Structure formats: C-alpha cells, structure tokens
Amino acid sequence: MIPPISYRDSGVDIDNANATKRAMADSLNAGDPRVLNSFGAFASLVSGSFPGYQHPVLVCKTEEPGSKQLLAFQHDRIESVCEDMINHLINDIAVMGAVPLFVQDCIVCGAIEKEKVTRIVRGIAGACKAQGCVLTGGETSEQPGVLDKGTYVLTASVIGIVERDSVIDGSRIEEGNVVLALASSGLHTNGYTLVRKLLREKPEIASVSCGGKTFLDAVLEPHRCYVSCIQNLIKKNLVPTGIAHITGGGILGNLNRILPSTLNAEIDCGAMRVLPEFRVIRDVSGTSDADMIQTFNLGVGITLVCDAHHAEQISSLCGKLGIDCYPIGTIVHGTGEVKMEGTLQW
C-alpha cells in the first residue's frame, strides 16, 4: 500500500499560491476609478463609459515576450522583461491610433516562487502605469511536470480605445507618401532564439562593447513604447496615413501588412541606422544580410507612413520626444509589397 500523497507532494502548494496572490494585491488596480471591483473576484469589472468618444472602437490584442523571457530570467531581469511584454503589447494597438485602457496577464510556471511572482506582477503593473493603463488582474497557473521550477511563461492582453473615424489602418496611404523610421531601443522582443544560441556557444560575446554597453545589456534593453509619441503626432494634427510595428519578420514582414493592394513601399536599406548589437550578431553568426533583414528590426522599431509635406515636422517632433526619426523610403504604385533596395551600412 502506497503512503498518502497530497497535492503539495505532487508539486502544487495551495497555501503558498494563496499567500503569493495576497502579496500581488497591492500591485493591482491601485485605486484606478475605471476598475469597479477589487482583487479576488472571479473576473474584473471595468467601466464601459468613455467620455469624449462619439463612436468608440475597442481594440484588443494578446502578446508575449517570446524567448527573450528565458534570457531575462536567467540574468534576473524580471522587471525588464515585464516592460518588454507590455510595451510590445501596447505598440500593437498604438499603431492603429488607439490608447491602452486595461491589461490582463497570465503567468504560467513550474512552481510558484513568491518573491519572483510578486516581482512579475509588480513589474507588469508598473509598466502599465507608465503607459497610462491599468493591470486589472489575470491568471497565475502552477504546472509542475509541464514546466520546470524556475521557468516562467508570461502572456498579457490589452483592451484599448480609438474613435472610429480616427482608426489608422493604412487605408489612407497614397502614392508619394514618405516612409519614416522611428528608432528602436535594440532587438525589442524578436530574434532571441538565435541570440541565445550565440550566447550558449560563444559566451564571451556577452561582454563585447555595443555603443557604450555590453552586448548582453544591449540585447536585454527593454522594448521601446511608442504610444505617447504617436498620440502627440495625432494631437498636433500630424496624423500618419499608416503605421507598422516592426517585430518578427522585420520591415519586410510587417510594413506589408498595412499597404493597400495597389501600392508598394520602396525601402532604402542604406538609409537605415543599424544599431551596433546587430553588427555583433551578424559578425559572430555569419548570418546573411537577407536573413538579418527578415529576422530583426535592425534599429527600426516603427515604420510610419505620412504625407511628404508632414515628414520634416514629424521627424522634428519625434526627436524632441527622444526618438530618432528619419526617412527610409517612399510609397509607389505596385501590388502591396515591400521592396528592400540598396545595401545595409554596417
């Protein structure tokens, strides 16, 4: 006869989980009047009143920080990767002209470690607050046997809002428009399967200098959020005709998502200001320029399409907000494709 086996013996400690969830409470809601109930309810209640909007459109998105989270946890950059996830998430709705309202998270782990989970929730809540939205709740799931202890998989969803007539979806893009690059802060949240492989096989590259920081610090730099910049442009009546968030697939695989079927974007690779960490990746891995273009943002976090007459004003305003902005291409007659022309300047 086998001895009794408890749920704790199987790997799930309910008392520890409950204590951890109580510790999360201070990071949630934070007195935001849009949130109508408190931590511990089965679901979050939020206000459906949107003052100032005539025809509000809710914009929904789910995102995760990819395998960057594995590298971040290995180097105790918990708060940093939470910022990565939230900024990436918000950018995906910001490019449509929306502002974020509410975020829900999901933390899946092999074992709930109170200190780490509390830091995760605090980090997510802080990243939300920095962008004007609120973490209303979520799910923390302990799954021993599915994930090892110390392994965490983070996911988050956002609800944002935009006036129906103010949606930016690329439909207003016209021939002759200019394509501007808004600089990234680094790799953002894409290409980390290759980066982790390089760091495993050639760990010495972690300390290589990259523009005043180490390669490791450069690749763990948080994803830049552009929502404030985009909203400033809109308020100044410098509304882009289309905006693309440059994530996995690079410019080639993201700018095409907003192009009308009768237009192409011609991008001058030589005009792109490639960040030094991408040069290290290329030199160490031997990856071709074509693969680099298809994998990484290469220093371009956003491509913003605008009327040629607005390009200089937009670049100037972005610069004042601390984001380098410069022209890299034009919109021409075509078939909805992105054409990468010229040679990258490494």
Q: 225-270 pLDDT, tens per residue?
A: 999 999 999 999 999 999 999 999 999 999 999 999 999 999 999 9
Is the same domain home to 216 and 94? no
Say whether pLDDT at 39 is over 70: yes
Is the same domain home to 161 and 184? no
Is the same domain home to 121 and 194? no
Is the same domain home to 206 and 88? no
Work out the percent of the chain whose per-residue pLDDT is above 90: 87
What mean pLDDT do residues 79-95 have? 98
Domain span including residue 49: 7-166
State the alpha helices, DSSP H only, in the chain: 7-10, 14-24, 68-74, 78-94, 114-130, 192-201, 215-219, 227-235, 276-285, 289-295, 311-320
Q: 302-333 pLDDT, tens per residue?
A: 999 999 999 999 999 999 999 999 999 999 99
Q: What is the pLDDT of residue 247?
A: 97
Is residue 173, in this structure, part of any structural domain at all?
no
Q: 167-202 pLDDT, tens per residue?
A: 999 999 999 999 999 999 999 999 999 999 999 999
What mean pLDDT do residues 124-133 have? 96
Say whether pLDDT at 124 is over 80: yes
Say whether pLDDT at 72 is over 70: yes
Residue 335 gets which letter from DSSP? Answer: S
Is the same domain home to 110 and 158? yes
Q: What is the pLDDT of residue 30?
A: 64
Q: Are 262 and 336 in contact (CB under 8 A)?
A: yes
Choose among 94, 121, 234, 242: nearest CA to 174: 242
Is residue 172, in this structure, part of any structural domain at all?
no
pLDDT range class, residue 210, cuts 50, 70, 90: very high
Is the same domain home to 144 and 231? no
Q: What is the pLDDT of residue 240?
A: 98
- What's the domain count of the chain? 2
**Last residue in a domain, options 139, 166, 193:** 166
Is residue 316, in this structure, part of any structural domain at all?
yes
For 298-317, give the secondary structure using H, E and C: CCEEEEEEECHHHHHHHHHH
Say whether pLDDT at 27 is over 80: no
pLDDT range class, residue 125, cuts 50, 70, 90: very high
Q: Parallel, antiparallel, or unpaired for β 99-109 and 134-142?
A: parallel
Q: Are 199 and 128 in contact (CB under 8 A)?
A: no
Record the tokens describing residue 265, joined without a space.
């974007």
Record the tokens describing residue 297, joined without a space.
């943002």
More confident residue, 40 or 346: 346
Q: CB within 8 A of 120, min separation 6: which ones?
A: 78, 82, 107, 152, 154
Q: Are 308 and 238 in contact (CB under 8 A)?
A: no
Q: What is the pLDDT of residue 29?
A: 59
**Last residue in a domain, options 135, 166, 197:** 166
Say whether pLDDT at 28 is over 80: no
Is residue 32, in this structure, part of any structural domain at all?
yes
Is the same domain home to 54 and 31? yes
Say whether pLDDT at 10 is over 80: no
CATH of the domain at 121: 3.30.1330.10
Is residue 192, in this structure, part of any structural domain at all?
yes
Neighbours of 247 (CB within 10 A): 21
